[in-house]
Amino acid sequence: MLPYIRCAMNNQLLRPQVSPLLHNENNLDIVRYYLSFAVLFAHFAELTGSTNYFPTSSYTAVGGFFMLSGFLVFYSYLRSRSIAQYLRRRAQRILPPYIAIVLLCAVCGAFITNLSVGNYFSSSQFWQYLGANLTFANFLQPSLPGVFEGQVYESVNGSLWTMKVEVLLYLSIPLVAWLMMRSSRAWALVAIYALSYIYKVWMGFMYADTGELIYRIMQRQVGGQLLFFYSGVAILLYFDYFQRYIRVLFPIALAVGIASKYVNCFDAIEPLCIAIVIIGFAYNCRWFVWMRKYDNIAYDIYLFHYPIIQLVVYWGLPERNIYLALAVVVGMTLSLSLLSWYLIERPVMRRRA
């Protein structure tokens, strides 16, 4: 396990002993790519009106991303010397490409808007878009003036809704770590999981009872995503036990995860089962360990793919050839993701190091 050595009352530092089982020879890179492409294919199908044949839904993929964040980011918090250092590292990791995609879409929108360039940049909607998206409030203004009008969705980047949830989950970690020090890791995790599930069920009930879409939207916000995030944290904090019993846990979790798609009674433990399957695969298989030698651009793929799909739809490519449209989306997404990594993210990461 990762036992807590001490807790400084001024900033609630938690300094762990690093488990020798938590090694770098893992398959987390291929897992990230798989999840990012699951979201890409789901959005492509949704925005083009085509069929999605990818075996994993966007709901499961997004939940998987939150689970990985819980597993990795809580570990990052435990290794940080202070809360300030932890928050600075998180900001340096997620902000550069995020700001880049928001600004890039805002500028490039001038080339496809049905407004004049002057009216586009002077529009209050343009500045509202910048203000809302740069502060993780994408829901306040998801579209740009005269851009993608008449398409299935006019939002510029529908993937960004998860970023505010991600940030709030990051901010929850110091508080949860403090609660664990004051009580018990196990009870804290059980309480968070139970409360999150109750919240999710209640929002679902309210949506079914009233038909108000706001409840369906709230169901997938931070209250509901705590299930995935702290499932990852639970596996991290009990990683040695997890590895000891993985041969039993993995097949059970895989079977329950599949069955939960058809049997509602397994819904409550589906997030934990997904976490067991993903982390179990990542740390008990050597097929894709070689990918650790290369830079990972899965985060960039997640950020960049949605506006590229919208642009391809604007060009009318899906109506001509859906497979060509998909190839263009994948090619442009990978190209821009690589540029983002090499020109923006890697320089920032090197300065951080």
pLDDT tens for the chain, residues 1 to 353 = 444 333 333 333 344 444 545 667 889 999 999 999 999 999 999 999 998 889 888 989 999 999 999 999 999 999 888 899 999 999 999 999 999 999 999 999 999 999 999 999 999 999 999 999 999 999 999 999 999 998 989 999 999 999 999 999 999 999 999 989 888 889 999 999 999 999 999 999 999 989 888 898 898 899 999 999 999 999 999 998 999 999 999 999 999 888 877 777 678 889 999 999 999 999 988 888 888 888 899 999 999 999 999 999 999 999 999 999 999 999 999 999 999 999 998 888 777 65
338 in Cβ contact with 297 (< 8 Å): yes
What is the pLDDT, as a whole number, of residue 22? Answer: 63
Place of tokens 């001509």: 320
Provide the sign of the torsion angle of the four alpha carbons 145, 147, 151, 154, taken in this order. Answer: negative
Pure H helices in the chain: 28-48, 58-79, 83-108, 117-122, 124-134, 161-182, 185-210, 213-219, 222-237, 239-244, 246-259, 270-283, 298-315, 317-320, 322-340, 346-352
CA–CA separation, 212 vs 205, rounded Å?
A: 11
For 316-323, the CB contacts below 8 A with 24+ separation are: 318/48, 318/49, 318/50, 322/48, 322/50
Q: Name the pTM for this structure.
A: 0.90
Angle in degrees, 0-180, between the axes of helices 58-79 and 270-283, rounded to the nearest 10: 70
pLDDT recorded at residue 299:
95
Q: Please report the pLDDT score of residue 257 as a whole number.
A: 82
